[in-house]
């Protein structure tokens, strides 16, 4: 069974996945490898529907493994992905309040996310609010990571 890390951008999915298992799967990196281009570029060229279709296929494939998986923040947008995730019994929602996430995203100059660059703070807050209910819907465990260090989060998970 896969251990799936869920959460909004800036919640620490990749950081935690890397600490849990150096051989983890970064779903966004895998998708970019298969697409042969950055996700943002694929969105521009082929559209979101085409991306979500491939994302569903990759998620279904990965859920059959015993890997630690760091998902993209938008994985829960697709109703089909939510169905797939509900069938997996180890989904961890790394939850944080929007202010904390926004501060982390703003400070991360090495990873300027397209969603962050293209939306106002208010628009991002609305996206966050919508997704939050979906993360909670599919999560088997929720950890509030707002004030926890990566080591403390790992302790909660092991």
pLDDT in tens, the chain (158 residues): 899 999 998 899 999 999 999 999 999 999 999 999 988 788 889 988 898 899 999 999 999 999 999 999 899 999 999 999 999 999 999 999 999 988 877 766 555 555 555 667 888 889 899 999 999 999 999 999 999 999 999 999 98
Q: What is the pLDDT of residue 145?
A: 95
Q: How many Cβ atoms sit within 10 Å of the Cβ of residue 108?
A: 13
Handedness of CA 116, 118, 134, 21 (dihedral sign): negative
Task: Please report the pLDDT score of residue 78 as a whole number.
Answer: 93
Can you give the three-state secondary structure of 66-102, one letter per residue? Answer: CCEEECCCCHHHCHHHHHHHHCCCCEEEEECCHHHHH
pLDDT at 30: 96
Q: How many CB atoms lie within 10 A of CB 75?
A: 27
What pLDDT, on a 0 to 100 scale, did the predictor assign at position 110?
57
Q: How many residues does the chain have?
A: 158
Query: b/e per residue, 49-66, with b = 16+ CB within 10 A?
Result: eebbeebbebbeebbeee
């Amino acid at each position: 069974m896969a251990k799936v890390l869920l959460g909004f951008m800036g919640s620490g999915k990749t950081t935690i996945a890397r600490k849990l298992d150096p051989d983890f799967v970064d779903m966004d990196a895998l998708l970019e490898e298969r697409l042969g281009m950055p996700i943002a570029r694929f969105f521009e060229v082929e559209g979101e529907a085409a991306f979500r279709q491939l994302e569903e296929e990759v998620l279904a494939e990965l859920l059959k493994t015993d890997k630690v998986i760091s998902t993209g923040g938008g994985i829960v947008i697709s109703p089909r992905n939510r169905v797939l995730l509900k069938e997996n019994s180890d989904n961890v929602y790394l939850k944080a309040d929007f202010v904390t996430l926004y501060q982390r995203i703003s400070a991360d100059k090495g990873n300027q996310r397209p969603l962050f660059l293209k939306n106002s703070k208010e628009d991002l807050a609305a996206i966050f609010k919508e997704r939050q209910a979906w993360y909670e819907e599919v999560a088997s465990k929720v950890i509030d990571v707002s004030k926890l260090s990566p080591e403390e989060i790992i302790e909660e998970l092991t």
